[in-house]
Amino acid sequence: MKRGTVFLLVLLVLAGGVITVGAVIKFEGMPPVVQFSPGKPQVLGVENSFRLAVTDQGQGLRSLSVILKQGEKEHQLAERTWPARYIAAGSDVSAVDLDLKVAVKELGIKDGPAVLSLTVRDHSWRESFHGNKYELTQSLVVDTQPPVITLSSRQNYLNLGGCGLVVYKSNENIQSGVSVAETVYPGLPLEESPHLYHALFAIPYNLPHKAELVIGAKDRADNTTRIRIPAQIKPRRWRQSKMNISDSFLEAKIPELRKAYPDLPQDNLEAYLVINRKIRAENNAAIKKVTSQASPVRMWSGPFIQLRNSKRTAGFADHRTYIYHGKEVDRQVHMGMDLASLAQAEVPAANRGRVAMASYLGIYGNCIILDHGQGLFTLYAHLTSMSVSPDQEVDKGHIIGATGTTGLAGGDHLHYAVICNGTFVNPVEWYDPRWIRNNVTAKEESAVEGG
C-alpha cells in the first residue's frame, strides 16, 4: 500500500437506514526518534542516571520498553504504554522525557558485560498494524570498582609559594587531578605510558598550614578514588615593604589608566585605589582565565632564563603597604618579580613556548603571557613595546619586547611572573636547574623507566 492517507468508507445498513462512518487511517512510515542525554551509555557504575527524549511526528507514541540484560537475567528498567484516542487515530502523546536511574547492585548486576535493549513503537498501522519501531541494542560494561592509584614517588619536598609535581599510576584510564585547598590542578597522561599520569601543581603563598594535598581520580563509570600525597612544605616569611605614593606619581600614571578605564573617579587618589584594588582583581582574573587553559604538550626544557644584566628590585609575594602623605591607604601582595636593567632593555622569552596573550592589561600595562605547556606559563609586564602576536611560537631567548613603564610601573623595569595552572608561583625555582631536575624531570624519568 502506498505511503499517505487512505480514506476508508464503511457503509452499514441498520434497520432500513444507512449510517456512514468515516475513519482516517495513516500508514505513515516515520519511526519514533530517541535521544540519550548525556549520550548512549557505554559503561555503568554503582549509581547511574540518564534521560531519554522520545518523540514521534506521526500518529503518536504507543509503547516503550527498556531492559537491562546480563546473561540469562533480564531487568525491566522502564515500561510505558499510551492508548489510541480511537481505532483509526493515534495517541495524544508525541513527546516524552524519561529519567532512568539504574542502581546495579540493587538489581543484582555484577561487574562485566551487559546489554541495554530499548524498543519504542508508534500508532502507525504499518508493520502489520503494530506500528513503526525504534529499536536499540547497546552493549556496555558494568564497573563498580574504584580506580587504584599508586604513587611513583613518595618524596615531595615543597616550598610555600612554589611548585610541585607528582607522578602516579592507575589500573585503568581516568580523569584525575591534584587538589590543593580549594583548587584542582589537572593530571595529564605521561609519555604515552599506559595509565601513567603526572600533575604540576602550585603551593599558594598563603596556603593554610594544615591543608592536605590529594589526588582525585574518576573512571568512565564515575567510580572515584582519593589518596593523600605525602609532602613536607617548607614555610616562609614573606617580605614586608612600604610603597610611597606621591602626587607626581598619580599625575603621571592616572591619565594612562583613565584612557583604558574612563569611568574612574575624578580624584586621583580615589582613582588609584580603584585601580589598585578593583582593576587589579579584574586583571588577575583575566590572567587566571588565560593560564587555566593549558596545552597538554610540554614545550619548555632546561632552566628558565632571566632578563640579561638585571637586578631583582622586588620579590614574589612581597606584602606591600601603600602610603600616601604619611597615611596608609591600601595593602596588596606583589605576585611576581621586578627586574631592572637598562631602559627599554630587550626582553627574552624565558623558555620555549606559545604566545597566549599580548595586549594592554590594566596595572600590568603592555603584557605578554607565554604558554610553555602542561600548565606552566610566564608573564612579562610594563613593556614599552611588544614584538610578538598571539599564537606565535617562540624559542628560549627570542626577543618578545622591551622593558618600560606602562601600567602602574613607577620606573622602567620588567615585572616577571610564573604561573602554574592559574596560580602565581615563585619564579626563582624555575631558574634553578638542580631544582628542576630533582622535582620535575627526574620524577618523570624514573616513573617511565619503572613502567
Q: What are phi and psi of 260, to 5 degrees?
A: -85, -25
Encode pLDDT of 70-97 as tens digits.
Answer: 999 999 999 999 988 776 677 888 999 9
List, as one string, the DSSP characters of 122-173: ES-SHHHHT--EEEEEEEEEE--SPPPEEES----EEETTSEEEEEEEESS-
Question: Looking at residue 24, what is its pLDDT?
Answer: 45
Q: Given a cut of 90, is residue 210 above it in pLDDT?
A: no
**Residue 71 grid coordinates:** 546473561
Pick 8 or 80 by higher pLDDT. 80
State the average pLDDT for the chain. 90
Query: According to the model, what pLDDT value does residue 271 have?
Result: 97
Burial of 134 (0-12, 13-18, 19+ CB in 10 A): middle
Q: Binning pLDDT at 50, 70 and 90, where does residue 59 land?
A: confident
Q: Does the pLDDT of residue 213 top 90, yes or no?
A: yes
Confidence at residue 12, expressed as pLDDT on a 0 to 100 scale: 38
- What is residue 26's predicted lDDT score, i.e. its pLDDT? 60
What is d(CA 194, CA 368) in angstroms, rounded to the nearest whole number? 36
Q: What is the pLDDT of residues 309-353, one digit of tens each?
A: 999 999 999 999 999 999 999 999 999 999 999 999 999 999 999
pLDDT greater than 60 at residue 4: no
| pLDDT 10s digits, 375-423 | 999 999 999 999 999 999 999 999 999 999 999 999 999 999 999 999 9
Angstrom distance (rounded) from CA 413 to CA 313: 9
Nearest alpha-carbon partner for 375 in 267, 430, 293:
293
pLDDT digits (tens, 9 = 90+) for 327-338: 999 999 999 999
Residue 6 pLDDT exceeds 60? no
Structure confidence by residue, pLDDT tens digits, 122-168: 988 776 567 889 999 999 999 999 999 999 877 899 999 999 999 99
Q: Are 375 and 440 in contact (CB under 8 A)?
A: no
pLDDT at 219 over 70: yes
- Amino acid identity at 357: M
Per-residue buried b or exposed e for 319-346, using 16+ beta carbons within 10 Å of the residue's own CB: ebebebeeeeebebebbbbbbbbeeebe
pLDDT at 191 exceeding the cut of 60? yes
**Residue 15 pLDDT > 60:** no
Which residues are within 8 A (CB) of 40 and not within 5 positions of it... i.e. 6 or more apart? Answer: 136, 138
Q: Give the model confidence (pLDDT) of 241-279 as tens digits.
A: 999 999 999 999 999 999 999 999 999 999 999 999 999
Is pLDDT above 80 for 14? no
Give percent of the chain with pLDDT exceeding 90: 80
Average pLDDT of the segment spanning 277-282: 98
